[in-house]
Structure 1
Amino acid sequence: MALFSLSCAVQAQSLPDFTQLVEQNAPAVVNISTVSHGRQGYHQFHGPGKSPLPENSPFGDLFRRFLEEGQGPERPPEESESLGSGFIISTDGYVLTNHHVVDGADEVIVRLSNRKSYEAKVVGSDEASDIALLKIDAENLPAVRIGNSKDLKIGAWVLAIGSPFGFEATVTAGIVSAKGRSLPSENYVPYIQTDVAINPGNSGGPLFDLNGEVVGVNSQIFSRSGGFMGLSFAVPIELAMNVVEQLRKDGHVTRGYLGVLIQDIDRNLAESFGLPRPQGALVARVVKDSPAEKAGLQVGDVILTFNQQLLHDSTQLPPLVGTTAVGEDAKLTVLRNGKEITLTVRIAELPADDAEIPSEPSTAADSVKSNKLGLVFSELSAEERKQLELPAEQGVRVEEVHEGPAADAGVQPGDVVLMIDGQKVSHPTQLEQIISGAPAGKTVALLLLKQQGPVFVALRIPE
C-alpha cells in the first residue's frame, strides 16, 4: 500500500500544473459572437459544421471547421448567429481569431472575461490561413505573450482556452501529436496537430505551451461526428502573426509565388529519379513567365531544399514559399538528371486565380498498338496541343489502357504523356521506341497531363 501511494505521488509530481498558466492568461481570452442579417442560417450549437472538402470526397465528413452552418433547426432568414473564441494580442484592443468565425458577419461582439462587451471592427480577414484581426475600442487590456511553435517538440504539453459550445473560459490540455501537418485543400498552413479536446466554439482560441506563450490558433478538427475525436489542428502562431502584421499594415495578405505544380515522391518515383529515399518536391509543371521559369526550373526537377531547409515531402514547400517576402531571392537545391544544382529564384506575388488546364477528347487517327506497358497511344493534332496549352511537338494521348503496369499506376484513357524517363515525347512511335528500349525491371517516371493537371507516375518495365 505504501509503495502504491509513493507511485501515485511520483506520477502526480511528473504531471504539469496548469493553474498558474490559466490564472495569468485566461483574462486575455475572449468570447466572440457574430450576427449576420438578411440570410438563412443555423445556430452553431445544433450542428458540426461543413467540410472544406469537395462534396464527393470520401473524407468530406471528416475535416470540419468549427463554426459554420450546421444541420439544426432553421432560424428565420432575418439573421443567423455563431459563437467562437479569440485572444487579445495587444493592450490597445487588437484581437486575433479565425476567419471562419467572423466570415460574412454584420456584427461582431467581443466579450471579455470581466463580462464587458464591445462591438468589434474587422480590421482584415484571410481565408487561406483562416486568420482574422479584430479591433475593439478599449485600453489597458490584458494581452497574451506570443511564443514560437518552431520550439515545440512532439510530445510536449499544450493547453487551450476557449468557449466550446458557449461554455466560456473552458480549459483543456494535451500534447503535441505532430507538426507541419498538411490538410486536404489547405496549401499554406503547416498545422500543429494535438490531442487537446477542441469542439465547436473553440475556434480562434489560443494554444499555449508550458511557458504560458501562445504557440497556435485552434482552427480545425478531424471528426466523423462534428465533435472531438482526439485530432485537433492549430495554425502556427508565427504564421498567424505574419498575417496579422499584413492585415494591420495593408488590410490584406500577399503571399510568395514560385509558379510550379508539384507532387510528392513515393518509393517507386524515388527509385526512378535515383533518390536514396522519398524526399523533396517533384516539379510536374512550370508556369509560363513565372519566377520558376525565369530561374531555370524544369519539369522533372526535384526540389530538395528551399533556403537551405530540407524538404522531407512536397507539402513543406507551399508554406515556405507563401511566407517568403515578395521580391526576395530564394535559394533552391534541385536534383536534375541525377546531379544536384543550385538555382536562385526571385519570389513574386501569388496571383488571385490559377488557370486550369482543359482536357479535350482526341480526334487524331494515328495510333500505336498496345505495348508492354499495356497502353495504346495516338498522336495529338496541332489544335489539340493549342487547347491543352502544350508546346509544339510535345504530347502523346493515351487511347486505351490494358491490364499491366500502367493500369496499376492509374493511367487512364485521355491522359496525355508529356515525358518518360526524362525525355520529352512528341509522337507515338517515339514513345513506343523508348518503352521498347527500356531494360526489363527498370522503373521509369512517366509525366502525364490529366484532367486535374500534370502528375508523375512510376512504372516498372515488365519482362
Structure 2
Amino acid sequence: LAPMLERTTSAVVNISTTGKVVVRDPFFNDPLFRRFFDVPRQRRERRISGLGSGVIFDADDGYIVTNSHVIDKAEDIVVTLENGQRFDATVIGKDPGADIAVIQVEADNLTEIPLGDSDDLRQGDFVVAIGNPFGLGQTVTSGIVSALGRSGLGIESYEDFIQTDASINPGNSGGALVNLRGELIGINTAIYGSGGNIGIGFAIPVNMAKQITAQLLEHGEVRRGRLGFVVQDLTPELAEAFGVAHKKGVVVARVEAKSPAQKAGVRVGDIIVSVNGREVENSAQVRNEIGLLRVGAQVQIEVLRNGKTRTLTASVGKQLKQTVSGKSLSDKLAGAKLSEAPEDPSRGTAAGIQVVKVEGRAASAGIRKGDIIISVNRKRVKTVSDMKAAIKKNPKTLLLNIQRQRQGLFILIR
C-alpha cells in the first residue's frame, strides 16, 4: 500500500472549525421561576469547535469536498495540509440532505485525488480509509467493502452507503475511502452506533458525491428534482400478489395529481424495475436516482404492468417543498421552520409536517431538526392547513406527536 499512499495522502486534509451557538440558561427559563420573577429570557453564546477531514478534488481552484456536518455552524474553517501548511477556507455550498459540502482554499501546489467509479465496486474489494480520527493527525486504515447500497439507516435523508470494516472514527468524517489504485471511491461519513469504531463504517459513494459537488459549484446548493410518486419495496409477498416473477424493483403506491409522473403515464401498481437503464432494488435507490437529477432532465422509467414491460419518459419537475414559519402557526413554535413531507416508505416515515430548521423557543421545547409532526392535539395532520386547524381549536396547549428516526414520542408545549 505504501507506494499508492505516497501519491494519495497529500490530497487528504484536516479540517478544524470554530463557531458559536446560542444557549439558554435553564434556571432563568424555568416556567416556575418565571411565574414569580419577571426577568427577561436569558440567552448566552457558547463557542464550539470541531474536527474533521476533507479531500482535494480540484487542485487548481482549491476545491475540497467534505461532510456538511463537519462545517455546520462553523464561523471559521482552517484546513491543514499533510505538510503542516494551514489555510483559511470559505464555504462554496453544502447539502445537508446527502451530507456533502464543498469548501475552498487559496493555495498553490496542491495535490488532487483521482476520482474512481463507485459503480465498479464489489463486495470484498480492498479499500483504504484516510482521515484525521480524534484529531490525532492523518491516519490510514484498511479493510474491505462489506456491503453496498446500504440505506434506511436514518443517518441522512439520501442514503446509498458503502459499508466497510476499515476503521472510521470521529474526526474521519469527510475523509477519503480509496481503492488500491489510489482512486477516490467514497467520502467517509459515519460509524454505526455511538462512540468509536466497531467494524461498521459508512461512506458516500463518489459517484453520488460527483453529482452533488457539481451542483454545489454551480448553484451553491442542490436543486433536487421530483416526479411526484410514492414507492415501496417489492417484497416476495407483493410480487406474488401482483403475479410477477421479478424479484427486484419497487411498487408505485401513489401518484400525485398533475405531477410529472402522472403526465408520463405512471400508474398506481406499476412495478419500476429500472431508472435510466439502472436496475433498482429498493425505494431508497429510486429516491436517490430521482433526487439527484436536475430539474428539466428527461428520465426513462421501465415498469412492469399487467405482465408487460413498458418504458415511460418523464420530465423532472421542481420540488414543491416550501417552508413556513412555526411562529405563523403559534408563538409556541417560534424558531421552527416547517414544511409538508409526503410519506416515505424508504425511510419508514409517515406523511406529516417536517421540521427543517429549529432554534429559539421551539428548540427549547424539545423539537429537533428532522422531526415529523404526525398529530397536533390528537388531530392527524398531513398539511399546514391541517396543523392550523388543530392549533386553532386549542391554542393554549400544543400536544405534538412526533416521529423521530423511526421512533415516536409526544412533546407538550404550554
Asked if TM exceeds 0.5, the reply is yes
Paired position in structure 1 for 2:18: 35
Contact 1:40 1:80 in 2 (8 A): no
Residue identity in the other structure for 1:202: N
Distance 1:302 1:278, change over 3 A: same
Q: Tell me by how many angstroms 1:339 deviates.
A: 2.9
Deviations 1:123-173 (A, max 9, x none): 111111111101111122122111111122211110011111111111000
Contact 1:187 1:318 in 2 (8 A): no
Contact 2:20 2:73 in 1 (8 A): no
Q: 1 CA distance for matches of 2:19 and 2:308?
A: 57
Paired position in structure 2 for 1:221: 191
Q: Of residues 73, 81, 94 in structure 1, which corresponds to 2:49? A: 81
Q: 2 CA distance for matches of 1:336 and 1:91?
A: 49
Q: 2 CA distance for matches of 1:196 and 1:388?
A: 42
Residue identity in the other structure for 1:258: L
Q: Of residues 282, 288, 297 in structure 2, which corresponds to 1:328? A: 297
Q: 2 CA distance for matches of 1:203 and 1:124?
A: 17
> What secondary structure sits across from 2:261 in the alignment?
helix
Q: 2 CA distance for matches of 1:187 and 1:289?
A: 25
Q: 2 CA distance for matches of 1:100 and 1:38?
A: 15
> Is 1:126 matched up with 2:109?
no
> What secondary structure sits across from 2:9 in the alignment?
helix
Larger Rg: 1
Deviations 1:373-428 (A, max 9, x none): xxxxxxxxxxxxxx989xxxxxxxxxxxxxxxxxxxxxxxxxxxxxxxxxxxxxxx
Contact 1:39 1:79 in 2 (8 A): no
Residue identity in the other structure for 1:267: P
Contact 2:152 2:284 in 1 (8 A): no
Paired position in structure 2 for 1:208: 178
> Is 1:25 matched up with 2:13?
no
Paired position in structure 2 for 1:428: none
Deviates more, 1:96-105 or 1:304-313: 304-313
Q: Equivalent residues in 2 for 1:63-74 (5 A)?
A: none
Deviations 1:192-247 (A, max 9, x none): 11111000000000111000111110001112x42111111111112112211211
Q: 2 CA distance for matches of 1:248 and 1:192?
A: 24
Q: 1 CA distance for matches of 2:65 and 2:318?
A: 25
Residue identity in the other structure for 2:215: Q
Q: Equivalent residues in 2 for 1:246-395 (5 A)?
A: 246-353=215-322, 354-356=340-342
Contact 2:63 2:105 in 1 (8 A): yes
Residue identity in the other structure for 1:204: G
> What secondary structure sits across from 2:48 in the alignment?
strand
Residue identity in the other structure for 1:339: K
Q: Tell me by how many angstroms 1:40 deviates.
A: 5.0
Q: Of residues 90, 103, 122 in structure 1, which corresponds to 2:58? A: 90
> What secondary structure sits across from 1:39 in the alignment?
strand
Contact 1:35 1:108 in 2 (8 A): yes
Distance 1:243 1:177, change over 3 A: same
Contact 2:125 2:144 in 1 (8 A): yes
Residue identity in the other structure for 1:329: Q
Contact 1:270 1:279 in 2 (8 A): no
Distance 1:228 1:306, change over 3 A: same
Q: Equivalent residues in 2 for 1:91-240 (5 A)?
A: 91-92=59-60, 93-185=62-154, 186-223=156-193, 225-240=194-209
> Is 1:241 matched up with 2:224?
no
> What secondary structure sits across from 2:217 in the alignment?
helix
Unaligned runs of 5+ in 1: 1-17, 42-75, 360-386, 390-450, 453-463
Q: 2 CA distance for matches of 1:195 and 1:351?
A: 39
Q: 2 CA distance for matches of 1:315 and 1:355?
A: 16
Deviations 1:402-460 (A, max 9, x none): xxxxxxxxxxxxxxxxxxxxxxxxxxxxxxxxxxxxxxxxxxxxxxxxx99xxxxxxxx
Q: 1 CA distance for matches of 2:106 and 2:311?
A: 51
Q: 1 CA distance for matches of 2:212 and 2:341?
A: 25
Q: Tell me by how many angstroms 1:187 deviates.
A: 4.8
4+ aligned runs moved over 6 Å, structure 1? none
Deviations 1:292-318 (A, max 9, x none): 111121112111221222222322211
Contact 1:29 1:86 in 2 (8 A): yes
Q: Tell me by how many angstroms 1:77 deviates.
A: 4.1
Aligned residues: 313
Calculate the aligned-residue CA RMSD, in Å. Answer: 2.5
Q: Determine which structure has the larger strand proportion and give its number.
A: 2
> What secondary structure sits across from 1:21 in the alignment?
helix
Q: 2 CA distance for matches of 1:336 and 1:245?
A: 36
> What secondary structure sits across from 1:78 in the alignment?
strand
> What secondary structure sits across from 2:211 in the alignment?
helix
Residue identity in the other structure for 2:11: A
Q: Tell me by how many angstroms 1:277 deviates.
A: 4.5
Deviations 1:70-89 (A, max 9, x none): xxxxxx94301110011111
